[in-house]
Amino acid sequence: DQQVKQNSPSLSVQEGRISILNCDYTNSMFDYFLWYKKYPAEGPTFLISISSIKDKNEDGRFTVFLNKSAKHLSLHIVPSQPGDSAVYFCAASKGQENYGQNFVFGPGTRLSVLP
């Protein structure tokens, strides 16, 4: 049973336009959400995160929106650049005191930004 879902396996966007990547989760105990970007044969690179007590977090071209009632979050990239082409993973975490974080990843969305 997938706790974190990314229903679009791929997305193509024109350079300069907005990219919107979506993520849904089922476990209401998740209290932190993260987006990672991954190139082939590399480890995931952290992009941006949001705590469950917030509904928006911005960092440069990247903004993450969280809708707790809908158990939905989205990553907006504006403007999109060809270098943004990668696989984007949504991850959710439920903190466990003294036990580290259990990060659960979605299946990923492959973003292609076309010049």
Element (H, E) at 109: strand 109-114
Size of interface with another protein, in residues (CB under 8 A): 27
Q: Which tokens in the block code for residue 4?
A: 């974190």
Name which of residues 59 to 98 contact another protein (CB under 8 A): 89, 93, 95-98
Cα of 1 vs its chain's centroid, Å: 19
Q: Which of 32, 68, 76, 112 binds another protein (CB under 8 A)?
A: 32
Rule CB under 8 A: is residue 105 a binding residue for another protein? yes
CA-wise closest residue to 23 among 94, 102, 104: 104
Q: Which of 14, 17, 29, 46 binds another protein (CB under 8 A)?
A: 46
Element (H, E) at 59: strand 56-59
Rule CB under 8 A: is residue 21 a binding residue for another protein? no
- What are the residues facing 38 on neighbouring strands? 87
Q: Which residues are near another protein by CB under 8 A?
A: 4, 32, 34, 36, 41-46, 49, 89, 93, 95-108
